[in-house]
Amino acid sequence: MSANRFYSTFDSETLKPRPAYAGEYRSAFQIDRDRIIHSSAFRRLQNKTQVFLSGEYDFYRTRLTHSIEVAQIGRSICGWLAQQGSLGEDCSIDADLVECACLAHDLGHPPFGHTGERTLHHLMQPYGGFEGNAQTLRLLTETLFNEGRDGMNPSRALLDAILKYKTLHVEAGGAPNHYLYDNQEKWLDFTLGGQAFPVELTPGDVRNEFKSIECQIMDWADDTAYSLNDIADGIHAGFINVTTLERWAEARTLDTAQSEHVVFLCKAIREGRVEARLNRHIGDYIRATKLVPESTFLSAMTRRHQYRLAIDPAVKAQSKMNKKISLDLVFRSPQLQQLDYKADVILTKLFGVLRDRYIERDGSNLHLLPATVETEIAKAPDAATRARLVCDWVASMTDSFAFRTYRRLFDANFGSITDFV
């Protein structure tokens, strides 16, 4: 099999050299992917919220099933683009690399979905904030397989593929999300090959739009999965039905395409063919992509920044509409808002206890965290570092572990010495 000329050693380079093993049969990107699949952080996604709290029902999506679906869509987009032949002979976007980015893209999400992310951002504001994408970067570079704070020593191309946002917290102007932690600047610098951002790529939305082609594919695969599958889960759960959908449409001024899409969804619901109809749209979303050449300040260093992913405007508009329907009829429903409130209370109280004990050091000698975590916190030089380590532990929790820990600490009728902490 001929080498893929789309990539060079610049793309596969890691910050620290990887040991070379005799007979290694995997590419750098396959090694990245395999390490993620075999990590505890990836396994924990099976019990983290996608739309509904994990464990409420057997068949709704979790962060794990969502990530697997995103990975399948990402690989399929690579196959579709390769079939177009626009990259030339022996050149293609590496499907293993894209799959790896898709599997990793939600590793940093805390329990309780975006509610958990907002709560931790608020609680961590005095200590540098919390952001799901930044936490994913922290996992890959520092905490995954934690032996000497090297993380999994990922390739440059993988880092670039998961970095949806390239603005530092200090540059974000108080934004609630879409930033990196300030101490991650060295990883951003490594990802960019030491190149500085041109002045026109100002911090915030403009800079965050600067993405490698693999990151763009991952982002569209993510959009495809959750814009279609959140609708399906919302229908199965009863939040979206013909009545609520038609009422939603009547309250808005829709264009012809939007009105036809509502009719399409209502028909799928009436006929009981929601999954089949929406799954067919996944193929439409994949085939709606094409590569368009472009030149950026990194184009001379890597082909990964010589193309952008163009998406059919009609398909992109439909995806946006699906997300709006899910937001209005599912995420803003009283039932989910009540669960969001409960999740906020749980994380706020858990973090408050740990902040007093470990970050601000109230003088208590209670052992509330695993010994290895306590040891690392004790060695931390300042409150911000201690807070980040506490936040790592809270963010790593699954939904059920967060519930259980909360009850052990605050529910007098729960817990015994035989429970696992």
pLDDT tens per residue across span 104-125: 999 999 999 889 999 999 999 9
Task: Quote the Cα angle for 367-373-378, to 5°.
Answer: 80
Q: What is the pLDDT of residue 253?
A: 94
pLDDT bin (cut points 50, 70, 90) of residue 59 is: low
Q: What is the pLDDT of residue 418?
A: 56
- Angle at which helix 213-236 crosses helix 274-287, to 10 degrees, equals 170
Mean pLDDT of 263-291: 95
- Determine the Cα–Cα distance for residues 345 and 5; give it in Å rounded to an integer: 52
Q: What is the pLDDT of residue 85?
A: 85
- Determine the Cα–Cα distance for residues 21 and 79; give it in Å rounded to an integer: 30
pLDDT bin (cut points 50, 70, 90) of residue 50 is: low
Per the DSSP assignment, residues forming a β-bridge with 293 are: 307
Mean pLDDT of 271-300: 95
Q: What is the pLDDT of residue 227?
A: 93
- Determine the Cα–Cα distance for residues 298 and 317; give it in Å rounded to an integer: 30
pLDDT bin (cut points 50, 70, 90) of residue 300 is: very high
- Determine the Cα–Cα distance for residues 221 and 309; give it in Å rounded to an integer: 12
Inform me whether the pLDDT recorded for 55 exceeds 60.
no
Inform me whether the pLDDT recorded for 184 exceeds 90.
yes
Per the DSSP assignment, residues forming a β-bridge with 292 are: 308
CATH H-level superfamily of 9-208: Hypothetical protein af1432 (1.10.3210.10)
Torsion of CA 178, 183, 188, 191, to 10 degrees: -130
pLDDT bin (cut points 50, 70, 90) of residue 315 is: very high
Q: Where are the domains of the chain?
A: 9-208, 213-334, 345-410
333: left (phi over 0), alpha (psi -120 to 50) or beta: beta
pLDDT bin (cut points 50, 70, 90) of residue 24 is: confident
Q: What is the pLDDT of residue 89?
A: 83
- Are 337 and 330 spatial neighbours (Cβ–Cβ below 8 Å)? no
Q: What is the pLDDT of residue 52?
A: 54
- Determine the Cα–Cα distance for residues 397 and 109; give it in Å rounded to an integer: 10
> Mean of the per-residue pLDDT values for the chain?
92
- Burial profile 114-152: b = 16 or more Cβ within 10 angstroms, e = fewer: ebbbbbbbebbeebbbbbbbbbbbbbbbbbbeeeeeebb
Q: What is the pLDDT of residue 160?
A: 98
| Location of structure tokens 């398909």 | 315
Inform me whether the pLDDT recorded for 157 exceeds 70.
yes
In the chain, the percentage of residues whose pLDDT exceeds 90 is 80
Count the neighbouring beta carbons within 10 Å of the beta carbon of residue 108: 24
Q: What is the pLDDT of residue 58?
A: 52
Q: What is the pLDDT of residue 420?
A: 53
Structure tokens at 299: 């184009």
Q: Note the pLDDT tens digit of each residue in 132-151.
A: 999 999 999 998 876 556 78
Q: What is the pLDDT of residue 236?
A: 87
Q: Which residue has the higher pLDDT, 129 or 362?
A: 129
Q: What is the pLDDT of residue 23?
A: 87
Q: Which of 239-253, 273-287, 401-415 has the lowest mean pLDDT?
A: 401-415
Task: Quote the Cα angle for 137-223-285, to 5°.
Answer: 135
pLDDT bin (cut points 50, 70, 90) of residue 417 is: low
Mean pLDDT of 218-232: 94
Q: What is the pLDDT of residue 284?
A: 96
pLDDT bin (cut points 50, 70, 90) of residue 51 is: low
Contacts of 206 (CB under 8 A, 6+ apart): 200
Q: What is the pLDDT of residue 298?
A: 98
